[in-house]
């Protein structure tokens, strides 16, 4: 007979019944807990606090967690299995996934379509009535591949191990197939009414969904094996839909710049702008496009996970209890948390604010050196370390250098930029003034526009222009040029300079 144990999870207050010997990661991942290093015991991102039960510290925990943290009960959930009843407090909480509710122009057509934003961390899908443009159902979820690495490079690393790519391809296809079924079920729509499904995502997501070889993306010149539209019929994906349904993953723009950015071009209309505009998706993999009606240049840059709160001492995702905004008030930092809850950690927008405020207080020098002591206190129990500030410098330096180099490629100046769209969740929440203060986005805040989930909006627009999808958007892609930033002259120097914080 199989033995089961109760595992109580706080703050949810939920108890799950778990078979003895089950990996804690297998229990927690479906509940929304992320494993930033893919469960390799390297990052501390999956830590949980043991409130009751026994989990003996492992060698990795003794290396990564302080004696005090271990004594308090902190453990790395990726290192343990369930061998008795447990009560755990999660360091990560559920977070909202950005979808899209903005109006758009379309030509009415028959039937239904599904638009999917395949993000590295999250998935968002909408069922759309092609006659009315109405969204009939929405599904969001964590990307099931995320347990094998939070960022795209660790996903590539996992994919290159034996069986890795097949596992990741199977996971995403199965999961999205389930989301499609759920969407139709929620709307009470017969599958026969479904005409097409448009998927967008970065180049790694494109390759993994398509079952393509990722090796070319892992070595110089880091260009994709195939960058065109991938077209499938549902049966070859294992999806239980009529074979008349067309499934297409939109084409990439080059390198790590994927169809999420192509969709961003459709959503913002950047190629139709007379004046020079910039679209930036701030994330672990920062993607950016600069252009106007004359054409565009695009690039991606490895910013690291600081904007998502990862690899920061007290970092967490933008979820309840995360410090999301920080101001300098009467010579001290004042922290505001999501949900107004007691602070449990800091997310990307809070980190940018905290460093901006600390620069104003002169607690951080332009070089990034802490001048207020060995740590930067946020609350009585939370602080930023020197290394945390360095992580943010790496991230903001990568984005700022990318923008600088793209402007150079276009023969333009910062001041000639008319408008900057910030795509994605982080772009929605970040303070534009703080982003300017730390030199991340060196523009007047009024020029910067949070643009929401442009990838999902673009995928919806693609449902109404299926001819272009199947043809691979030749006209649009012909207007653009992918730039390998690391091959640009002076890249290292420009990156080094961009890591410095502006003087007040
Ligand atoms: S240490 Fe567990 S996921 Fe990184």
Q: Cα angle vertex 429, ends 102, 152, to 5°?
A: 90
Q: 96: pLDDT confidence band, cut at 50, 70 and 90?
A: low
pLDDT of 162 higher than 60:
yes
For residue 38, how far is its CA from the centre of ligand 1 (angstroms)?
6
Of 111-115, 301-305, 458-462, minimum mean pLDDT range = 301-305
Is 6 within 8 Å of 85 (Cβ atoms)? yes
Query: 281 vs 1, which has greater pLDDT?
Result: 281
Q: At what angle do helices 386-409 and 491-498 cross, to 10 degrees?
A: 130
According to the model, what pLDDT value does residue 201 have? 95
Concatenated DSSP letters of 119-144? -SSEEEEEEEETTT--EEEEEEEE-G
pLDDT of 296 higher than 50:
yes
Outline where DSSP puts E strands in 187-313: 194-201, 230-232, 246-249, 277-281, 285-292, 295-302
Query: 105 vs 389, which has greater pLDDT?
Result: 389
Q: Which CATH class is domain 4-90?
A: alpha beta
For residue 42, how far is its CA from the centre of ligand 1 (angstroms)?
6
pLDDT of 95 higher than 60:
no
Which of 42, 121, 150 to mutate to test ligand 1, by most ligand atoms within 8 A of the CB atom?
42
For residue 36, how far is its CA from the centre of ligand 1 (angstroms)?
6
Q: Provide the pairing of β-strand 277-281 with 419-423.
A: parallel
Cα–Cα distances in Å, from 498 out to 28, 289, 415?
A: 38, 19, 17
pLDDT, tens digit (0-9, with 9 covering 90-100), for 247-277: 999 999 988 899 999 999 999 999 999 999 9
Which of 23, 78, 147 to mutate to test ligand 1, by most ligand atoms within 8 A of the CB atom?
78
Is 487 within 8 Å of 495 (Cβ atoms)? no
Distance of alpha carbon 281 from alpha carbon 228, whole angstroms: 21
According to the model, what pLDDT value does residue 344 have? 82
Q: 93: pLDDT confidence band, cut at 50, 70 and 90?
A: very low
Distance of alpha carbon 145 from alpha carbon 169, whole angstroms: 9
Distance of alpha carbon 375 from alpha carbon 348, whole angstroms: 18
- The alpha carbon of residue 128 and the mean position of all alpha carbons in its chain are separated, in whole angstroms, by 24
Q: Is 74 left (phi over 0), alpha (psi -120 to 50) or beta?
A: beta
Q: 126: pLDDT confidence band, cut at 50, 70 and 90?
A: very high
For residue 60, how far is its CA from the centre of ligand 1 (angstroms)?
10
According to the model, what pLDDT value does residue 14 have? 74
pLDDT, tens digit (0-9, with 9 covering 90-100), for 68-77: 778 888 899 9
Which of 26, 39, 142 to mutate to test ligand 1, by most ligand atoms within 8 A of the CB atom?
39
Residue nearest to atom 1 of ligand 1 (CA): 41
pLDDT of 487 higher than 90:
no
Q: Within the chain, how many helices (H) and strands (E) appear? A: 16, 22
Query: 427 vs 116, which has greater pLDDT?
Result: 116
DSSP character for 207? H
For residue 147, how far is its CA from the centre of ligand 1 (angstroms)?
9
The mean pLDDT of 180-197, rounded to a whole number, is: 94
Is 363 within 8 Å of 370 (Cβ atoms)? yes
Nearest atom of ligand 1 to the alpha carbon of 44:
1
* Structure tokens given for 465: 């222009």
According to the model, what pLDDT value does residue 94 have? 47
For residue 304, how far is its CA from the centre of ligand 1 (angstroms)?
16
Nearest atom of ligand 1 to the alpha carbon of 79:
2
The mean pLDDT of 383-412, rounded to a whole number, is: 94
According to the model, what pLDDT value does residue 339 have? 63
Pocket of ligand 1 (CB under 6 A): 35-37, 39, 41-46, 76, 78
For residue 314, how far is its CA from the centre of ligand 1 (angstroms)?
14
According to the model, what pLDDT value does residue 98 have? 66
Is 409 within 8 Å of 483 (Cβ atoms)? yes
Nearest atom of ligand 1 to the alpha carbon of 78:
2
**Quick one: which H or E segment has residue 234?**
helix 234-237
pLDDT of 292 higher than 80:
yes
pLDDT, tens digit (0-9, with 9 covering 90-100), for 192-244: 999 999 999 999 999 999 999 988 888 877 778 777 899 999 999 999 999 99
pLDDT, tens digit (0-9, with 9 covering 90-100), for 23-50: 998 888 776 677 767 788 877 778 888 9
**Nearest one of 147, 141, 115, 143 to 128, comparing CA atoms:** 115
For residue 312, how far is its CA from the centre of ligand 1 (angstroms)?
13
> What is the pLDDT of the chain when averaged over all its residues?
89
According to the model, what pLDDT value does residue 220 have? 79
pLDDT, tens digit (0-9, with 9 covering 90-100), for 143-157: 888 878 777 888 899
The pTM of this model reads: 0.81
Q: Which CATH class is domain 112-268+454-462?
A: alpha beta
Is 233 within 8 Å of 222 (Cβ atoms)? no
Domain ranges for the chain: 4-90, 112-268+454-462
Nearest atom of ligand 1 to the alpha carbon of 39:
3
């Amino acid at each position: 007979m199989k033995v089961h144990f109760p595992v109580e999870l706080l703050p949810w207050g939920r108890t799950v019944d778990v078979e003895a010997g089950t990996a804690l990661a297998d229990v927690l991942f479906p509940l929304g807990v992320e494993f930033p290093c893919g469960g390799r015991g390297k990052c501390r991102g999956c830590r949980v606090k043991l409130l009751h039960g026994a989990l003996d510290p492992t060698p990795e925990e003794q290396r990564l967690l302080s004696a005090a943290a271990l004594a308090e009960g902190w453990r790395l959930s990726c290192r343990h299995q369930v061998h008795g009843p447990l009560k755990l407090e999660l360091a990560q909480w559920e977070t909202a996934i950005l979808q899209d509710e903005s109006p758009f122009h379309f030509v009415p057509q028959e039937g239904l379509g599904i638009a999917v934003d395949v993000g590295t961390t999250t998935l968002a899908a909408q069922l759309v009535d092609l006659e009315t443009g109405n969204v009939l159902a929405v599904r969001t979820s964590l990307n099931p591949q995320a347990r094998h690495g939070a960022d795209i490079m660790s996903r590539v690393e996992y994919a290159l191990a034996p069986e890795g790519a097949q596992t990741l391809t199977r996971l995403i296809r199965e999961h999205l197939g389930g989301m499609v079924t759920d969407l139709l079920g929620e709307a009470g729509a017969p599958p026969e009414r479904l005409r097409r499904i448009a998927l967008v995502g970065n180049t790694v997501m494109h390759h993994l969904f398509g079952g393509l070889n990722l090796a070319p993306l892992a070595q110089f010149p880091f260009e994709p094996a195939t960058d065109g539209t991938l077209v499938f019929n549902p049966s070859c994906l294992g999806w239980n839909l009529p074979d008349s349904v067309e499934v297409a993953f939109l084409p990439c723009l080059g390198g790590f710049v994927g169809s999420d950015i192509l969709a961003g071009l459709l959503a913002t209309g950047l190629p139709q702008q007379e004046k020079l505009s910039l679209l930036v998706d701030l994330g672990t993999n920062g993607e950016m496009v600069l252009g106007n009606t004359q054409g565009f240049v695009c690039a991606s840059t490895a910013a690291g996970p600081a904007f998502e709160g990862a690899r920061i001492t007290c970092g967490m995702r933008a979820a309840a209890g995360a410090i999301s905004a920080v101001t300098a008030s009467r010579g001290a930092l004042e922290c505001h948390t999501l949900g107004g809850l007691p602070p449990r950690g800091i997310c990307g927008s809070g980190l940018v604010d905290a460093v901006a405020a600390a620069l104003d207080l002169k607690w951080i020098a332009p070089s990034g050196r802490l001048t207020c002591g060995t740590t930067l206190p946020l609350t009585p129990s939370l602080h930023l370390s020197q290394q945390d500030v360095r992580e943010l410098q790496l991230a903001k330096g990568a984005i700022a250098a990318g923008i600088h180099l793209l402007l150079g490629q276009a023969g333009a100046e910062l001041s000639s930029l008319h408008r900057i769209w910030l795509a994605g969740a982080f772009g929605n929440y970040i303070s534009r003034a703080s982003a300017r203060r730390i030199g991340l986005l060196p523009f007047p805040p009024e020029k910067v526009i949070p643009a929401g989930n442009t990838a999902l909006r673009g995928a919806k627009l693609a449902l109404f222009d299926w001819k272009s999808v199947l043809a691979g958007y030749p006209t649009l892609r012909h207007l653009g040029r992918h730039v390998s930033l690391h091959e640009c002259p002076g890249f290292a120097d420009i990156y080094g300079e961009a890591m410095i914080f502006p003087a007040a």
